[in-house]
Structure 1
Amino acid sequence: MASPRILVVDDEADLRELLEITLLKMGLDVDCAATLREARRLADDNAYNLILTDMRLPDGLGLELVREVSSTSKTPIAVITAFGSAENAVVALKAGAFDYVSKPVVLDELRVMVRSALKLSDPGAAQDAGGGTGSRLIGHSQAMQALRAQIGRLARSMAPIAITGESGAGKELAAREIHAQSSRAAKPFVAVNCGAIPENLMESEFFGHRKGAFTGAGEERDGFFQAANGGTLMLDEVADLPLAMQVKLLRAIQERRVRKIGATAEEPVDVRIISATHKDLAKCVETGAFRQDLFYRLNVIELALPPLRERLDDLPVLANAILARLAGPGGASLGPGVLEALRAYSFPGNVRELENVLERALAFANDGVIQVEDLSLKAARVAETARVEPPPVVATPPTPAAAPPMPAAAPVAPEATPLGPASLPSNLPAYLEQVERDIIQRALQQTQFNRTRTASLLGISVRQLRYQMQKLDIQAPEN
């Protein structure tokens, strides 16, 4: 079996010789070119597993070769950039480069990049690493087919990706799909919710710390970057990062090195960055809430996820997949008219809300068959009405004749009456407590004071319901 073949394009004879010797020691065949013209001739005459080119050549730019190769073949092409030329690296990645290395070339980093490229150029190895061809993104609509095709192309690159989309649209699923189809599939995928980490712990969580670096640091610990080394690091809700942390994150991404708290030396890390947010990062940059240079580094390639309301054709297959996961294959089904009721809803919470709706409906369903009256489709209606209403229900089951009486409610204060357009409550906390008390009491009566069903109807946990009942002094009737 022939050894993989690499083309090195650089006009510096010393660097060309260093790269050639390094690659030959890895057991690879190497061809070298000093000009863009010679590189084009060799690329036309031979099949390469990787092309490595300098950005500046005597008769043109390596960027021209990047565009030509990426548009006409699937051969990975990487660029060599001058130290500190982060902008050139970003431009090359946007043009279709697989990855980049900076001068002076660190040979260990070069070897890691070459191995990743060789996995990508070997279809068998890529399929084994990715665990087959099954996709996590369900749906047959045109939007989903286009999304899966785009993900297939993005998986071949190491360029940072910014995934945008509404809450619940499946941003983490898309990130996992990119990782699974990439040459890094056998390495870790680490997802981090940037908005859930206390600001004073962020540096330690991302970069790790040495033992005794601060009070409470009883042992040395790796951070997210070390945990994802060789794989993919997903920064979810990246717009929530404080500005001070954005500076440190930018350096780690640019230099591909991190320093643990309490350490004196940096350590190299090899991670692909995928960021995600439901906010408009460009607007965050305009308002000063997000650094422009970090935005430039993260938003090399943007992947926009369509909301569920724009792909309603996928509702049947999505619903069946969700029910199969909740109740097992054949354990649950949709009754007449349910799909039509779901199609008529806008799903502001997207696929995550669809899953919650079906899970609640399954709790009410008889014999695992969900009927229209089992659905509870909620939507925010603050902009449409000034009065507070309970979550709208598609259809309300008839109240049994022997339903237990509702306990006596506390007298409603004048402030708790529906507000007119010009009126405001004189005591907002009391007003909101009374509104919440009324909604919980209505839900309890509707479910005949079954707390599990009431919590499911309101979209909260039983523990949360119990806490609210105690806080608002709501008593269940005695049997």
Structure 2
Amino acid sequence: MNPRSPRVLVVDDEADLRELLELTLLKMGLDVDSAATLAEARTLLADTEYQLVLTDMRLPDGLGLELVREVTAACKNTPVAVVTAFGSADNAVVALKAGAFDYISKPVALDQLRVMVQSALRLNAGPAAVQAPSAAPVTSRLRGESAVIQALRAQIARLARSMAPVYIHGESGSGKELAAREIHAQSSRAGKPFIAVNCGAIPEALMEAEFFGYRKGAFTGAADDREGFFQAANGGTLMLDEVADLPLAMQVKLLRAIQERRVRKLGATAEEPVDVRIVSATHKNLAQCVEQGSFRQDLFYRLNVIELTLPPLRERLDDLEVLTGAILERLGTFEHKVVLGPGVLEALRGYAFPGNVRELENILERALAFANEGVIEVGDLALKGARVVEAAPPLPAPTPAWSATAVPPPNPDTLPSSLPEYLIQVEREIILRALAQTQFNRTQAAQLLGISFRQLRYQMQKLNIQEPDS
């Protein structure tokens, strides 16, 4: 045998199945050792380094789950896969929660076995091995250096080595899809498709066809065969965003597809195998949905093997400068760089961001539309409920020569002869007083008045307020 061939340890007390697994792995060009008991497996593991351990769940002297925990603790880079009895989905989930890389059900389908083994060997080689040689190294999509975001990246690096389903929970706009893409990029599936599906945006009548595909003639309008989301993500990752919005009827079909790793297109008579890793996400409390009866408990148990919680932006304000810089870099162009004016970051730090990073992007994009020559000022942010500016001190009584005469308040017993003209005079007087207090600094005047620089400039043009000659 080639001494450089990856070595696999097969642990199973059934001689026939052990022989079948050995022959299949040998035909794949791998070196194989086998053991019938936990004791034999432990002896081999003490003397040899393996690239994959494949173990049955039930052994004469214990459970394969013990081996999963021991190998995971002692050999963190060695993936362990388990063989479970047909229909033992609960055992598979328990093994995945204990740290198993993946599982395969009896009777063993050799095509699924080969796919799983190849995926495990790519995992040992690292995600770089499945990318094109000329591909540039991928930087993390999760920007920031705060303690919570560093802990999140470390957690993603660990769970990316498993094929276990991941449930991502977080508020709207906190970056759930970015986290899912990061998991995919760091896994052995990085070179395969990543398909993100918004479960709440698909009409219920079309769900089965969209997820599983259909055959030509399966229903009116099915002019050609079409693949579904599962087939499109084959070999890669399928993200089910807003999974809590799935109707109960579709939840049953989805559960079967995840457990059996097979789907049947509408109009087809046979199922076809699919190899996808499921990542689900929602801003709702999925456990609470189970209690309310709107989400199946067995599907929740199946999806929630590994839970990943994303922190809201208000808990990682230390990353605000990095996030803002990245967003502005994307919004700017080569000729026009976007910069922040004085006090902008401080104003952003005083805001709660109920919409998280997505809201930050919207705020900056809107502010850029009002910004003067690519410089975003505090007034351009138009933050609601934020402590953007402090209360202005009393305005000085004297007015400069270029100011209009102060408009006297109307007599309480009389009404102005022309309300529009009176309001124009009042608006003009207030703007002139703000300009006088700031020595005609329009940016500061806009802040005092609680409007953007662009709005102030528009009002000055409309009211024909000119800057005094120096």
TM-based fold match above 0.5:
yes
SS in 1 for 2:207: helix
Which of 367, 371, 379 matches 1:373?
379
Change (3 A) 1:293 1:356: same
Q: Point out where structure 2 has 5 or more consecutive residues left out of the alignment.
A: 391-402, 405-418, 422-450, 459-470
The residue correspondences of 1:404-419 to structure 2 (distance < 5 A) are none
- Residues 227, 146 of structure 1: alpha-carbon distance in 2 compared, 3 angstrom cutoff: same
Contact 2:13–2:35, Cα closer than 8 Å, also in 1? yes
* CA displacement at 1:75 relative to structure 2: 0.3
By how many angstroms is 1:328 displaced?
Answer: 3.8
Q: Does 1:359 align with 2:371?
A: no
1:174 matched to 2:174 = no
- On the 8 A contact 2:127/2:186 being kept in 1, the answer is no
Correspondence 1:279-298 to 2 at 5 A: 279-298=284-303
**Partner deviation per Cα, 1:150-172 (whole Å, 9 max, x = no partner):** 00001100000000000000000
| Residue of structure 2 in register with 1:342 after alignment | 348
Counterpart in the other structure of 2:24: 22
Change (3 A) 1:133 1:249: same
| One-letter amino acid of the structure 2 residue matched with residue 25 of structure 1 | K
CA distance in 2, matches of 1:275, 1:378: 32
CA distance in 2, matches of 1:224, 1:320: 35
Query: How far apart, CA to CA, are the structure 1 residues paired with 2:181 and 2:270?
Result: 32
Alignment of 1:33-432 (within 5 A): 33-73=35-75, 74-123=77-126, 125-126=128-129, 128=131, 132-328=137-333, 331-378=337-384, 394=388
Contact 1:163/1:171, CA 8 A, preserved across alignment: yes
Q: Is the 2:130–2:190 contact (alpha carbons within 8 Å) kept by the matching residues of 1?
A: no
Task: For 2:183 and 2:374, locate their aligned partners in 1 and report how far apart those are by CA, in whole Å.
Answer: 35
Is 1:375–1:395's contact at 8 Å kept on the other side of the alignment?
no
Q: CA deviation at 1:143?
A: 0.3
Greater Cα offset, 67-76 or 96-105: 67-76
Asked whether the equivalents of residues 126 and 182 of structure 1 are also in contact (C-alpha less than 8 Å), the reply is: no
| 1:15-61 deviation digits (Å, cap 9, x = unpaired) | 11000000000000000011101111111111111000000111111
Are the counterparts in 2 of residues 99 and 158 from structure 1 also a CA contact under 8 Å? yes
Residues 349-385 of structure 1, C-alpha deviations (whole Å, 9 max, x = no match): 0000000001111111112121111112246xxxxxx
Distance 1:244 1:122, change over 3 A: same
Q: 1: CA distance between counterparts of 2:296 and 2:127?
A: 41
Residue aligned with 2:142, SS: coil
Q: Match of 2:240, as an amino acid?
A: L
SS at match of 2:190: coil
> For 1:356, what is the secondary structure of its paired residue?
helix
Preserved contact between residue 79 and residue 120 of structure 2 (Cα < 8 Å): yes
Q: Is the 8 A contact 1:70 1:96 kept in 2?
A: yes
Secondary structure of 1:19's match?
A: helix
**Measured at CA, do residues 378 and 256 of structure 1 come closer, stay the same or move farther in structure 2, by a change above 3 Å?**
farther
Task: Name the CA shift for 1:212/1:125 in 2 (closer, same or farther; >3 Å).
Answer: same
Bigger Rg over Cα: 2
- In the alignment, the residues of structure 1 paired with residue 115 and residue 136 of structure 2 have an alpha-carbon distance, to the nearest angstrom, of 21
Q: Secondary structure at the match of 2:91?
A: helix
Percent identity for Structure 1 against Structure 2: 76
Residue 411 (structure 1) aligns with: none
User: Which AA in structure 2 matches 1:60?
Assistant: G
4+ residue stretches of structure 1 with deviation over 2 A?
123-133, 392-396, 446-450
Q: Specify the alignment match of 2:465 in structure 1.
A: none
Taking a change above 3 Å as real, the CA distance of residues 261 and 24 of structure 1, as seen in their structure-2 partners, is same
**What residue identity is the alignment partner of 2:118?**
R
- Give CA-to-partner distance per residue, 1:190-247, whole Å, 9 cap, x none: 0000000000000000000111111111111100000000000000000000000000
Rounded Cα–Cα distance in structure 2 between residues aligned with 1:302 and 1:136: 19
Is contact 1:126-1:181 (8 Å) kept?
no
What is the RMSD of the two structures over their aligned residues, measured on CA atoms?
2.5
TM-score, structure 2 as length reference: 0.81
For the structure 1 residues 258 and 378, does the alpha-carbon distance in structure 2 shift closer, same or farther, using more than 3 Å as the test?
farther
Work out the CA distance in 1 between the residues paired with 2:375 and 2:455. 19
Q: How far apart, in 2, do the equivalents of 1:306 and 1:239 lie?
A: 20
Q: What is the CA distance between 1:128 and its match in structure 2?
A: 3.5
The one-letter amino acid paired with 1:359 is: E
Mapped to 2, the partners of 1:449 and 1:280 lie a distance apart of 47
User: AA paired with 1:247?
Assistant: V
Contact 1:376 1:393 in 2 (8 A): no
Amino acid at match of 1:105: V
Deviation sequence 1:120-179 (CA, Å, 0-9, x none): 011375474796351000000000000000000011000000000000000000000000
What's 2:433 paired with?
A: none
* Corresponding residue number in structure 1 for 2:407: none
Which amino acid counterpart does residue 117 of structure 1 have in structure 2?
A: A
CA contact 2:166–2:280 (8 Å) conserved in 1? yes
1:417-475 Cα offsets, whole Å, 9 max, x none, are: xxxxxxxxxxxxxxxxxxxxxxxxxx9xx95999xxxxxxxxxxxxxxxxxxxxxxxxx
> Aligned letter for 2:79?
P
SS in 1 for 2:209: helix
What is the aligned length? 398
Contact 1:229-1:270 within 8 A present in 2 as well: yes
Secondary structure of the structure 1 residue equivalent to 2:104: strand
